Amino acid sequence: MRRLLSLLLVVLGCADAAPRAPTVVATSADVATRERVREEIRFAWAAYEEHAFGSDELRPVSGTASNWHGDVSLGLTIVDALDTLHLAGLDAERDRALVWIRDELRFDVDARVSVFETNIRILGGLLSGYALLEDPMLLQKAVDLADRLLVAFDSPSGIPYRFVHLRDRVASEPDVDTAEAGTYVLELEALSRFTGDPKYRNAARRALDALDATRFEATGLIHSGVQVERGEPTLPIAQLGGGVDSYVEYLWKGALQTGDRALAARYRDTVEPLHEYASFTSGENLHYGWVDGRDGRFLAPMSGALDCFFPGLLALEGDLIRARSTLEGCWSMHERYGLLPDSFEVESGQVIAANHELRPELVESLFYLHRFTGDPIYRERGRAVLETLVRRCRVEDGYTVLSDVRSGAQGDGMPSFFLAETLKYLYLLFEDHDVVPLDAWVFNTEAHPLPIAR
Ligand code: DMJ
């Protein structure tokens, strides 16, 4: 039945191009919500500026700052938030972020950084900032950073090591998860285009080719982890959530960015086995669980906050039937817990990891579904999410993660992706559709828009 549905979508031509976006007129309530989200962006940024400016992230409950690498800061929140501030029209805040990046951000530092996180958050933030603002300083910083990250790709397989020491330009740790192995094509393609130097694009493509060769032959499923020196899978579990998610996302978005049909075909080869083996229904709703990649055996109806990026990706690829149905699944889980926990079992409702991290994936999918259907229900739900975040996570000095969605116990952290993604997608959900139009821009996995090739 599922295969038939896929076939039908392809035959109808729905699955090979993003659907045409309908024209939507904003109601006065939509405009008011947009203004309200802008004020929440201003509020969260002001709290970061007051208590943590120049550090990686804000700890909003204690009103203190935290860094990912001890004394070294890469100003993670500043670079991640730059384009959000710009798109929300917070020009004075954006300009203070730009001054910090120009004067303080350096990469010749004593820090062993995650290649994946640095690529999606910092390189992605610098590149989208450059694309939107055309400030050459941002491109210079991006080139300096990318040249340091590139040493990670010098592995026997071409799949990048997990870490790079930025100052010493030394790569380490050959065990990576699948997302860490294959989430580079958007940023490195953009950088090759901006600089005219193909070495960035080539590194990302070589890694992707090597990764593709490691999928399980019998099922076509992709694993959750790989050893980069041997180029062999380490984790046979196949699933769509954390550790795999952005690899799948970048196949389709890479195809959109470049028009490369080979990437689109690889995306199909990756998601079709997931539809076949990993999908299941609960009530009317569609979910994707965990399966053994070697034989396709269904293991568990596991899901989590991160999985909820998938309805948005399905909408972007034109599969609105599955997009709506998986979004209903995510929404029912959101309503069950009052905010999505990081890990849970769909059928039993058992919570495996109760923390709520202010993640963007649910609002990201609401944004895409609204762009492609114009259905007002997605804005209504965005309003509901905003109210819940304000009620459960807003504190005097910013927004905080929850350590347990069931009790509502608060942690003490405001991850940089809250400003980069969660608030940006919420804001854009209520913005006119010709702002960052999806036929001209593609969002990286940290919600940094990069231009599509014309
Ligand atoms: C972000 O850093 C990115 O969206 C990544 O792909 C997944 N994790 C976080 C948000 O949840």
Report DSSP letters for 251-266, one per residue: HHHHHHHH--HHHHHH
User: What are the two backbone dihedrals, phi and then psi, of residue 239, each rounded to the nearest 5 degrees?
Assistant: -165, 175
pLDDT of residue 8: 40
278 in contact with ligand 1, CB cutoff 6 A: no
Q: Is 57 a catalytic residue?
A: no
Q: State both tokens at 82.
A: 């730059």
The span from the CA of 130 to the CA of 97, in Å, is 13
pLDDT of residue 453: 84
Sign for the CA dihedral angle at 320, 321, 324, 329 comes to: negative
Helix (H) or strand (E) segment spanning residue 403: strand 402-404
Q: Are 257 and 189 in contact (CB under 8 A)?
A: yes
Kindly give the residue spans of alpha helices, DSSP state H, lying in 259-304: 261-273
For the residues 395-419, what does the mean pLDDT come to? 98
Q: At what angle do helices 91-104 and 124-133 cross, to 10 degrees?
A: 120
What confidence tens digit (pLDDT) does each residue in 147-200 have? 999 999 999 999 999 999 999 999 999 999 999 999 999 999 999 999 999 999
116 in contact with ligand 1, CB cutoff 6 A: no
Tabulate helix, strand, coil % of the chain (nearest 5): 50, 15, 35
For the residues 11-32, what does the mean pLDDT come to? 70
The span from the CA of 181 to the CA of 228, in Å, is 8
The closest residue, in CA terms, to atom 2 on ligand 1 is 446
Helix (H) or strand (E) segment spanning residue 346: none
What confidence tens digit (pLDDT) does each residue in 300-332 have? 999 999 999 999 999 999 999 999 999 999 999
Banded model confidence at residue 358, pLDDT cuts 50, 70, 90: very high
Tally of CB atoms within 10 A around 425: 25
Query: How is residue 110 annotated by DSSP?
Result: S
The span from the CA of 109 to the CA of 79, in Å, is 17
Q: At what angle do helices 28-52 and 76-87 cross, to 10 degrees?
A: 150
Banded model confidence at residue 24, pLDDT cuts 50, 70, 90: confident
The span from the CA of 47 to the CA of 43, in Å, is 6
Which residue type, as a one-letter code, is found at position 28? Answer: S
pLDDT of residue 15: 39
The span from the CA of 453 to the CA of 256, in Å, is 8
pLDDT of residue 18: 57
pLDDT of residue 26: 87
Q: Is the pLDDT of residue 4 over 50?
A: no
Over its C-alpha atoms, the chain yields an Rg (Å, rounded) of: 21
Whole-prediction pTM: 0.95
What confidence tens digit (pLDDT) does each residue in 283-299 have? 999 999 999 999 999 99
The span from the CA of 56 to the CA of 386, in Å, is 24
446 in contact with ligand 1, CB cutoff 6 A: yes
Query: How is residue 453 annotated by DSSP?
Result: P
pLDDT of residue 11: 35
Distance 121 CA to ligand 1 centre (A): 9
Banded model confidence at residue 10, pLDDT cuts 50, 70, 90: very low
Q: Is 117 a catalytic residue?
A: yes
3-class SS of residue 66: strand
pLDDT of residue 23: 81
359 in contact with ligand 1, CB cutoff 6 A: yes
Between 285 and 6, whose confidence is greater?
Answer: 285
Which residue type, as a one-letter code, is found at position 45? Answer: W
User: What are the two backbone dihedrals, phi and then psi, of residue 448, each rounded to the nearest 5 degrees?
Assistant: -95, 115
306 in contact with ligand 1, CB cutoff 6 A: yes
**Mean pLDDT over all residues of the chain?**
95
Of 177, 426, 445, 448, the one to substitute when testing ligand 1's pocket (max ligand atoms within 8 A of C-beta) is: 445
**DSSP β-ladder status, 441-443 and 64-66:** unpaired
Nearest residue to 1 (alpha-carbon basis) of 251, 279, 252: 279
pLDDT of residue 19: 63
- CA torsion, points 45, 51, 57, 59, in degrees to nearest 10? -110
Q: Which atom of ligand 1 is nearest to the CA of 306?
A: 11
Q: Which of 83, 317, 361, 431 is catalytic?
A: 361
Banded model confidence at residue 22, pLDDT cuts 50, 70, 90: confident
Q: At what angle do helices 377-393 and 361-373 cross, to 10 degrees?
A: 160
